[in-house]
Amino acid sequence: MSEPSSFYEQIGGHDTFVRLVDTFYAGVADDEVLKPMYPEEDLGPAKERLTLFLEQYWGGPGTYSEQRGHPRLRMRHAPFHVNPDARDRWLAHMRTAVDALELPPLHETTLWDYLHRAAMAMVNTFEPTGIGPAAHGRAAASLPLNASTTKESP
């Protein structure tokens, strides 16, 4: 039997990414800064988008691009107020989710390094939450990494 070839396969494939995203969104659901960024009450569509994105990024199915095109993370987050507070909240919920997976240290570090770098790259303002960009058509709170530039939820 051969070794799993992609990171996606090495950490358990679809089921692992579903667990990661479900745990992450359990935190987002109660977050006073992040949750208001989702227009629908049900976070299911956002969970699906993030799961598909992460699976594709780590060598799983290319469903995300088939359905949504190129990820363009910075562009998809540009309309939203992603400040250091929002980034830190996103990272705190994601840290809980990564820890819950109980991955081997090398895999945990690899996954966390990417998520941390991606979150840092999404910061697009240093204005406090609730001021500034909201007056210019941008949302008043932050947005997790799988946002869309349309009225569709992140």
Most confident range (mean pLDDT) of 48-57, 124-133, 137-146 is 48-57
pLDDT of residue 117: 97
pLDDT digits 0-9 by tens, 23-38: 999 999 999 999 887 7
CATH of 7-136, one of 3.90.1170.40, 1.10.490.10, 3.40.1010.10, 3.40.190.290: 1.10.490.10
Q: Write out pLDDT tens, residues 75-106.
A: 887 877 889 999 999 999 999 999 999 999 99
- What's the pTM value of the predicted model, to 2 decimals? 0.80
CA–CA dist 40, 36 (Å, integer): 9
* DSSP string over the chain: -PPP-SHHHHTTTHHHHHHHHHHHHHHHTT-TTTGGG-SSS--HHHHHHHHHHHHHHTTS--HHHHHH-S--HHHHHTTS---HHHHHHHHHHHHHHHHHH---HHHHHHHHHHHHHHHHHH----SPTTSSGGGGTS-SS---TT--SSSS--
Residue pLDDT, tens place only, 120-136:
999 999 998 764 334 33
Question: For the chain, what are the domain ranges?
Answer: 7-136
Q: What is the mean pLDDT of the chain?
A: 84
Give residue 1's pLDDT.
64
